[in-house]
Amino acid sequence: MLRLAWIITTFSLFLYSFTQIDLGLTLTRLSCWQGIQRKFQYIGYFNRPLSTAFYLGILFFLFGFYFLILKAVRERRFTSKQLWQLILTTVVILWFSYNAFSYDLFNYIFDARIITIYHQDPYQHKALDFPDDPMLGFMHWTHRLYPYGPLWLAFTVPLSFLGWQKLVPTMILFKGLAVVGYLGSSWFIYKILEKINPKTKLVSLTIFALNPLVIIESLVSAHNDIFMMMLVLGGFWFWLKKRPILAWLMLFLSVGIKFATGLLLPIFLLITFYQWQKRKINWGRIWLVSFGLMIGALLMATGRTELQPWYLLWVLPFVALQAENRFFTWLTISFSLGCLLRYAPFLYYGHWNPPVPTIKLWLTILPVGLGFIGYLIEKYAAR
């Protein structure tokens, strides 16, 4: 029943995502779909209180069932096969959802389009340089130049060709990269713990893979951050396999997607030194320092713009790798909730102007405080 409840809630998220289809975008010219799309858009854009209530309800059930599944896994009432089946079912449902909470997917598509259609350099040309392109009718952030590493283009340009410049097939292909990143990250976390701390591998997998923030920002919004993290986690896996060349390659590939994981360079240098000296590596400390470094990356990015929920993808893998640290688990899960609640004021008001910033701040802080209280209750109840 618990697995069925999770699947129903995930499917509800899939349906809800289509309420956020941009009013300037038509996914297909099929008349039967256009009528359905307008009904979904009516909820998202013209009945905002109902839309916000749906979103908050979905979050409530996602986090509620997440805690119950995590509890069941800790009590060994879930097998590895059952957990992976649930993860794969979640992927199948949400791969085809609309990128409801971010326009970044469209930017990824247009960056590759600058190369495949216009034969120009996205580091030197922005979307606004091509004013006749039909995608400009529903894109955001059309004034920015390409901000990522060159390797992201190496992955996305071929998909731009394969999509035949048709939006829906191209969106599905680009979301496929996020699916690969999500599954790859989950698999590496599982395999890493299988090697160094087998008794926590299922708990760690659950903490990461079923975290609603990970699911929404990876499988719904399809941010490239999850692909970046998959590669760096692969680097740690190759360290455990004592294959340093591949480990370093994975780090450089990760940085080639997005630069945040460049802050993990000292960790890779330290592991190189330890393995060269044939010294035992304390992996718990490695995860703790990596967690701290990625918190630093998150703070730097937040200082440059503002806190974005998907930045937490940089941190959560290292929380999952420390599943026995209940404080980190409580803190980051509650912070995940707070970050996802930041979307609610926009869904209600339809803009980011006052009082939205103040509401976002409180919606981020309050769950963290409740998470800290939850941790204290669990700690003292266990005595």
Task: Say whether both 49 and 196 belong to one domain.
Answer: yes
pLDDT band at 165 (very low <50, low <70, confident <90, very high): confident
Arithmetic mean of pLDDT, 348-369: 93
Q: Residue 111: enclosing H or E segment and its boundaries? A: helix 104-116
260-287 confidence digits (pLDDT tens):
999 999 999 999 999 998 899 999 999 9
Residue 166 has pLDDT above 80, yes or no: yes
Residue 30 has pLDDT above 80, yes or no: no
**Higher-scoring residue by pLDDT: 83, 379:** 83
Count how many Cα atoms sit within 13 Å of the Cα of residue 232 in the half-sphere of its side chain. 28
Q: Cis peptide before 309, with omega less than 30 degrees from 0?
A: no
Residue 14 has pLDDT above 70, yes or no: yes
pLDDT at 29: 74
Number of compact structural domains in the chain: 2
Which of 115, 148, 169 is the endpoint of a domain?
169
Helix 167-196 / helix 104-116 crossing angle, nearest 10 deg? 110
CA-CA distance, 26 to 56, in Å (whole number)?
Answer: 26
pLDDT at 380: 79
**Higher-scoring residue by pLDDT: 326, 193:** 193
Classify residue 225 as exposed, middle or buried by CB count within 10 Å of its CB (0-12, 13-18, 19+). buried
Residue 62 dihedral angles phi and psi, to the nearest 5°? -60, -50
Window from 31-45, 159-173, 188-202 with minimum mean pLDDT: 31-45
CA-CA distance, 362 to 242, in Å (whole number)?
Answer: 46
Which of 169, 185, 217 is the endpoint of a domain?
169
pTM: 0.96
Arithmetic mean of pLDDT, 323-338: 92
Residue 89 has pLDDT above 70, yes or no: yes
Q: Which of 166, 121, 169, 174 is nearest to 145 (CA)?
A: 121
206-233 confidence digits (pLDDT tens):
999 999 999 999 999 999 999 999 999 9
CB atoms closer than 10 angstroms to residue 304? 7
CA-CA distance, 140 to 150, in Å (whole number)?
Answer: 22
Query: CA dist 33 to 24, 28, 134, Å?
Result: 15, 7, 20
105-124 confidence digits (pLDDT tens):
999 999 999 999 999 999 99
pLDDT band at 203 (very low <50, low <70, confident <90, very high): very high
Arithmetic mean of pLDDT, 252-263: 96
Which of 125, 145, 169 is the endpoint of a domain?
169
Amino acid present at 287 = W
CB 43 within 8 A of CB 54: yes
pLDDT band at 288 (very low <50, low <70, confident <90, very high): very high
Task: Say whether both 51 and 117 belong to one domain.
Answer: no
pLDDT at 39: 93
CA-CA distance, 316 to 322, in Å (whole number)?
Answer: 10
CB 97 within 8 A of CB 14: yes
Task: Say whether both 292 and 360 belong to one domain.
Answer: yes
**Higher-scoring residue by pLDDT: 116, 32:** 116
Task: Say whether both 110 and 175 belong to one domain.
Answer: no
CA-CA distance, 224 to 92, in Å (whole number)?
Answer: 19
Task: Say whether both 194 and 183 belong to one domain.
Answer: yes
Report the sign of the C-alpha dihedral through residues 299, 302, 308, 314, in that order: negative
Task: Say whether both 122 and 255 belong to one domain.
Answer: no
CB atoms closer than 10 angstroms to residue 298? 18
Task: Say whether both 129 and 256 belong to one domain.
Answer: no
Query: CA dist 364 to 30, 73, 201, 210, Å?
Result: 41, 28, 29, 20
Residue 32 has pLDDT above 90, yes or no: no
Q: What percent of the chain has pLDDT above 90?
A: 85
Residue 223 DSSP code = -
CB 47 within 8 A of CB 169: no
Report the sign of the C-alpha dihedral through residues 327, 330, 333, 337, in that order: negative
pLDDT at 383: 64
Domain of residue 320, residue span: 2-103+170-381
Report the sign of the C-alpha dihedral through residues 164, 100, 204, 276, in that order: positive
Task: Say whether both 154 and 186 belong to one domain.
Answer: no
pLDDT at 76: 92
Task: Say whether both 207 and 265 belong to one domain.
Answer: yes
pLDDT at 94: 98
Task: Say whether both 348 and 305 belong to one domain.
Answer: yes
- CA angle (216 as vertex; 214, 218 as ends), nearest 5: 60
Task: Say whether both 250 and 364 belong to one domain.
Answer: yes
Residue 183 has pLDDT above 90, yes or no: yes
Q: Mean pLDDT in the chain?
A: 94
Task: Say whether both 284 and 370 belong to one domain.
Answer: yes
Residue 381 has pLDDT above 80, yes or no: no
Q: Which of 18, 11, 178, 25 is nearest to 90 (CA)?
A: 11
pLDDT at 267: 98
pLDDT at 370: 87
